[in-house]
Amino acid sequence: MTKSMSPRAGQRRRRRYRDVEEGGLVLRRFPFSGLSKSLIPYQGDGLVWVCAAATSVVLLLYLLLLGVIATRGLAALWVKPVAAVGLIDGRSVLGHIEGKTHDGTRWRVFRGNREVYGHDFSRIDIGAVVSVTHPEEVIVFERVEYGRAIGYLRGMMLSGSGEIVRLDLDQFALRHQRLMNEENHALKLLGTKMAKINQRLEHLRLKRLKQQGHAGAADNAVLLEEARMRQAYLELDRKHVQLLNEMRQKAAIIETIEGRRLEVPLSDILRFYQPNQMSRLDKLGFYLVRFWALLSENPRESNTEGGLFPVIFGTLLLVLLMSVFCVPFGVVAAVYLHEYAGEGWVLNTVRLAVHNLASIPGIVYGIFGLGFFVYGVGGWLDRSFFPERLPIPTFGTGGVLWAGLTMALLTLPVVIVSTEEGLRSVPRFVKEGSLALGATKLQTLRRVTLPMAMPGIMTGFILAITRAAGEVAPIMIVGVVKMAPLLPVDDSFPILHFERKFMHLGFHIYDAAFQSPNVEAALPLAYVTTTLLLLLVLTMSLAAMYFRAKLRERFTEYVF
């Protein structure tokens, strides 16, 4: 076969052979080596390109993840224009055009007015669209109930008589403002009073039950007070209903594009705006208003709308509780392991075990938390201290305290490991210098070792926070809920109610996106929550990385 080859082919073959010789025999094993060899002077660069390709895929995947979530999350609060879409059959549809459906033949339009249409979104055939206009005078109302209303303001009803007063938007805004300020305030005041009495009633009920359990009959004074409180409550309740009725009689008349009139009580209207008249700057301002509302308001409409205040509060409280339990203990354990425990195989085994515990799945900690804290300790507390409330559990059910403790256990290994890392990074001679100068071990620890290991402790602390904020599976079984009516901290005795359930950013995402009855409407909020959580967690991690880098840098000069 070699004999029948043309001279040129023979030459080429010889050249390749020589190349291989240059590179060493082993090169033949690689499929790419021949290819790249003939092209650039570096042998085996083809496989370098495979690595490069993998790197670009990895980077792009994460860019995509962050990009998709950030754009959708940030865009969710931005004011979108309202389009009036005219169809072939003469009907028109008013709403935000949210984009095309997958097959590209239809538009998804957010129409709002849930009480009229039944759902928020509808799909319209692009082929049937005749015109798209952006009417200036369209108003979007954000409401307490039924989501947003989109339509035209046709007037206002001032009393139950049904008489409609025509007024322009400025006048309407003024009246709305006044109502929100004065009457809503009165209502809130009344509500607070009622809640107080209610709590007192519950307290009295439990007291009575306790007395009945012990002595067989309740104290007369308790019964009397209970009756008086109930009377007071009924009185307030009547006032409340009256005030509410008065307020609800003042309603905005909103006309939908089909000409249907909606009566929306002024007290139900949170905000309103004319998106087609707003400039970029207006929109930016409104974006900030909405962002503030997101941080400060309560969720509405089963977590599909409204703010995230209790969610953020719950997350922060969980993180705080977790830190209180885990950081001091973690640091003490690490100091013990590094400074006081005797070296040997026992210590090595313990260290290895602690390292490994850091990578045990969170759900295992969750199961432990449920069995040990909730059913074990909580059940015991209930039986010994709150028997009058049984069978309704007080501590024997998931709560923020148990979630905090579970999370503390989960993050304890992380804190121990990174604190030890910090302690280890303190050069020996620094410590020995301190001891040689006559300082005791404690003094060395307090004045030299711990301050120098501080970045390590900070790293552990922040990593623990990151983990506690991001881990959802364990808290799902020890106390997080979709909707917590009461915050774990409020002004009623004893201020801190750690037995209460709480809400959490991570669980909120899961709930809104996968458990919600109205997923399509809940998705924008889910993206916002996801963005917030990502922002929180990534910032924290960046800080941890910064501290760790500082730790590495700081003592390099001592190391040879």
Partner 1 sequence: MVQPFSSPMFRDRLAARFFTLGGVSVLLSLVVLVGFLFWELVPLFQSPALTYLGQVQTENDAHSPLLVGADPGLGQVFTLDRRGVLRFTAFLGEETEPTVIDLAAQTPAGGAGRPVPLVHAARGDDDLLFLLWEDGTIQVYRLGFEFTQRRPAPPRYSFVSQRVLQVSAEGAFRIGDRLAVAYTAKQKLTVARLDAQGGIELQHWWLAPTSPRSPYIGGLEVEGDQEVVESVCYLLRDHDQRAVDFALDHQGRYLYVAEPNGYLSVWEVADGRSELRARTQASEGRIEQMALLAGDVSCVIVDQMGRVRIWNYITARTDADRLVAIQTTHGPRRAGLLPVAIPSGKAFLTYAQGDGLRLFNLIGPEALLHEAEVPELAQLQLGQGGTSVLGLAPDDSLHIWRLEQLEKAFQWRSLFGKVWYEGYPEPAWVWQSSSAAGSFQPKLSLVPLIWGSLKGAVYGMLFSFPLAVLCAVYVSFLMHPKWRLWIKPAVELMSAIPTVVIGFFVAMWFAPIVRDDLLGLVGVMIMFPVLIGVALLILLRSKRGVTGREFLWGMPVFFIALWGAFQMGSYLETHFFMPSFSLWLFERFELRLEQRNSLVVAFGLGLAVIPLVFTVAEDALSSVPKSLVAAATALGGSRWQTLRYIVLPRAFPGMIVAGLIGFGRVLGETMIVLIASGNTPIISTGPLSGMRSLAANMVVEISEASVDSHLYRVLILSAVMLLLVTFFVNTLAALLRSRMKRGHYEF
Nearer to partner 1, 93 or 476 (CB): 476
Nearer to partner 1, 42 or 555 (CB): 42
Nearer to partner 1, 26 or 221 (CB): 26
CB of 118 to partner 1, least distance (A): 24
Nearer to partner 1, 77 or 481 (CB): 481
Nearer to partner 1, 172 or 365 (CB): 365
Nearer to partner 1, 195 or 357 (CB): 357
CB of 385 to partner 1, least distance (A): 17
H or E segment and range at residue 154: strand 148-157
- Output the six-digit token pair for 406: 């579970």
Nearer to partner 1, 77 or 540 (CB): 540
Closest to 183 in 3D by CA, of 127, 115, 120, 246: 246
Q: Return the axis-axis angle of helices 400-424 and 450-470, rounded to nearest 10°.
A: 140
CB of 400 to partner 1, least distance (A): 18
Query: What residues contact residue 244 under an 8 Å CB cut-off, 6+ apart?
Result: 187
Q: Exposed, middle or buried: residue 459 (CB in 10 Å: 0-12, 13-18, 19+)?
A: buried
Separation CA 249–CA 266 (nearest Å) = 8
Separation CA 508–CA 483 (nearest Å) = 9
Q: Exposed, middle or buried: residue 30 (CB in 10 Å: 0-12, 13-18, 19+)?
A: middle
CB of 395 to partner 1, least distance (A): 14
CB of 293 to partner 1, least distance (A): 23
Nearer to partner 1, 335 or 457 (CB): 335
3-class secondary-structure state, position 84? strand
Cα→Cα distances 536→20, 312, 316, 414, 539, Å:
55, 11, 11, 19, 5
Closest to 408 in 3D by CA, of 355, 312, 493, 474: 474
CB of 83 to partner 1, least distance (A): 25
User: DSSP secondary-structure letter at 533?
Assistant: H
Please provide the DSSP assignment of 191-248 as one string: HHHHHHHHHHHHHHHHHHHHHHHHHSS--HHHHHHHHHHHHHHHHHHHHHHHHHHHHH
CB of 509 to partner 1, least distance (A): 5
CB of 360 to partner 1, least distance (A): 6
CB of 136 to partner 1, least distance (A): 35
Nearer to partner 1, 59 or 174 (CB): 59
Separation CA 264–CA 249 (nearest Å) = 9
Separation CA 200–CA 352 (nearest Å) = 53
Nearer to partner 1, 40 or 221 (CB): 40
CB of 5 to partner 1, least distance (A): 25
Separation CA 541–CA 537 (nearest Å) = 6
Separation CA 259–CA 431 (nearest Å) = 82
Strand 251-255 with 164-165, pairing: unpaired
